[in-house]
Amino acid sequence: MKTISKEELRELYYKDFPLWAEINYELLKEKAYELVDWENLLEEIWDMGRKHLDSGISHLAVILEHLYKWDNLRKYTRAGEEHGGLGWIKSIERARVEINKLFRRHPSLRAKLPEYLKLAWQDAVDELKLWLRDVGKEELISAIPEECPYTYEEAMTRDLKEELKP
């Protein structure tokens, strides 16, 4: 392996990430710990752990967005959308399945995800605002609550299909 200074390696992080990763891998393999770009390597390890949590937060945001639409905005569905927002029910079910897959693969996320309900709600609100603009109902944006109107348990278990039954 070509010799590289710590400064060059740090610069490589921004210029050629795959090469940076390859060199750090080789340095670690050779136990040349003093040459490793520890600062960026630690950041990357942190980011790897967050990737799955971020995915869970994203799926939770979809659930919250569609629960809110179901409860408050069904009459504003656009032409071409399934009647009464039935597509939202399917979307909620798919998002729950994806979250449960994450839990099977990464069990520690089961305890962490509920802590991010507020962040997921903020993401959901962003999407709700876009949707309301798209359907020409900007005046309803101010009615969206700042605090999440759902509990984590409700987001993960509420059965909207059951609510359709007479």
- pLDDT by residue (tens digit) across 22-69? 999 999 999 999 999 999 999 999 998 899 999 999 999 999 999 999
Q: Which residues does the chain have with pLDDT short of 50? A: none
Note whether 58 and 123 are within 8 A (CB).
yes
Domain residue spans of the chain: 1-36, 50-164
Residues 6 or more apart from 132 whose CB is under 8 A from it? 73, 76, 138, 140, 141
State residue 76's pLDDT score. 78
What CA–CA distances, in Å, run from 37 to 16, 18, 43, 51, 81? 14, 14, 10, 21, 51
Other CB atoms within 10 Å distance of the CB of residue 14: 9
